[in-house]
Structure 1
């Protein structure tokens, strides 16, 4: 791989360090390195495939390996990472997941049941279109395992969605070449937006759930209304 790629990042941020690490990995083991990086991105969602994939495209543009090698290995990496999380979901199973949810604050067992029921209705679309949404593309594999979606179907939908996503970003790096800094700026913005959306969603969920629990507590503990004139409880009809 040409050394011009190693100077594509000059910042000392975690993203810049990550890109340098991916470049080094591709220097050592070629397109397999990009596949390994994408597999890890599935297991650790904060790693941005939006940064890793264009680097594979740039490497292919520079002649380090073939364009379709980059596509094939990164798609294989996506599938391996997704299958690992699917296996985690299958190992947990619905009963174990419900027991875990019952011990967690702000999480209700009914949340698990609703999620699994929703997945049974929309699981195919969720797995396919989820490949285009940062963070969600990793997490969706777990309920797929819990719901025991047929493995062949999960694998096919994951591969197809990943193939489209990976090809788009690899081609972006391929066509931009030395203009990587344009992609890098875009990746920073996208990653920050995703983090903000996730944090805001978590905060909103927590606030709504806390208010709901407080309302239930007040309703359960509140006495029956008394007669404002006598202070006595109203007499209910026996009928």
Structure 2
């Protein structure tokens, strides 16, 4: 994957960075932890402007985030609750929990999007509940862009200042990203395993 990313950046320049960051937000296995430090290293060598690298990476990432926001908005609350009613165990959430989550997102959605954009894997899918909750588009784009700029700036500057030693950044960030993914999968497995218990608890509290 490293050679593939390098080839695209070398061939397309800042446009390639935007394309890669869009793809990274659509297909999470493509890591921004490789793309942006490498782009920062190229900027340090003078192959492309630093500000252009950051702008291109941000445009691509926000475009990918908007795509997931649009998907969430198209699914909508009613359809999501219908899916939960039929396949709640595998979605790990009940219609009542969707209502609770939506209420929380209506109150704190901006902060959730901002912070979510700084967390590997989560940064991709945080856009879906924003769309489902119908967060105003301008608000979504503002928070998503802010979080994306912080993340991209950090990764790019690491590559820029470390230059040829940017592999050290990757060697540190890659295990962190892996740990986050493993944690998310473990949380999903726990949600599936405890779904029945949570539903019984909800039913008992609702009957009181």
| TM-score past 0.5 threshold | yes
Quote the Cα distance in structure 2 between the aligned partners of 1:145 and 1:181.
Answer: 36
CA offsets per residue over residues 165-197 of structure 1, 9 Å max, x none? 101110000011111221221133112211221
Quote the Cα distance in structure 2 between the aligned partners of 1:35 and 1:188.
Answer: 21
Matches within 5 A, 1:1-239: 17=1, 19-106=2-89, 107-212=93-198
Quote the Cα distance in structure 1 between the aligned partners of 2:4 and 2:187.
Answer: 31
How far 1:117 sits from its partner (Å)?
1.2
What is the RMSD of the two structures over their aligned residues, measured on CA atoms? 1.7
Q: Is the 8 A contact 2:38 2:159 kept in 1?
A: yes
Counterpart of 1:229 in structure 2 is: none
CA offsets per residue over residues 98-135 of structure 1, 9 Å max, x none? 11112214132122222211110110111111111111
Quote the Cα distance in structure 2 between the aligned partners of 1:93 and 1:137.
Answer: 20
Runs of 4+ in 1 over 3 A off after TM superposition: 210-213
How far 1:45 sits from its partner (Å)?
2.2
Q: Is the 8 A contact 2:121 2:181 kept in 1?
A: no
With over 3 angstroms needed to count, the CA separation of the structure-2 counterparts of 1:51 and 1:210, relative to structure 1, is farther
Q: Is the 8 A contact 2:62 2:141 kept in 1?
A: yes
Q: Which has the higher contact order (CA 8 A, sep 6+)?
A: 2
TM-score (norm 2): 0.89
TM-score (norm 1): 0.78
Larger radius of gyration: 1
Quote the Cα distance in structure 2 between the aligned partners of 1:204 and 1:62.
Answer: 47
Q: Is the 8 A contact 1:51 1:187 kept in 2?
A: no
Q: Secondary structure at the match of 2:194?
A: helix
Counterpart of 1:14 in structure 2 is: none
How far 1:91 sits from its partner (Å)?
0.7
Q: Which protein has the bigger helix share?
A: 2
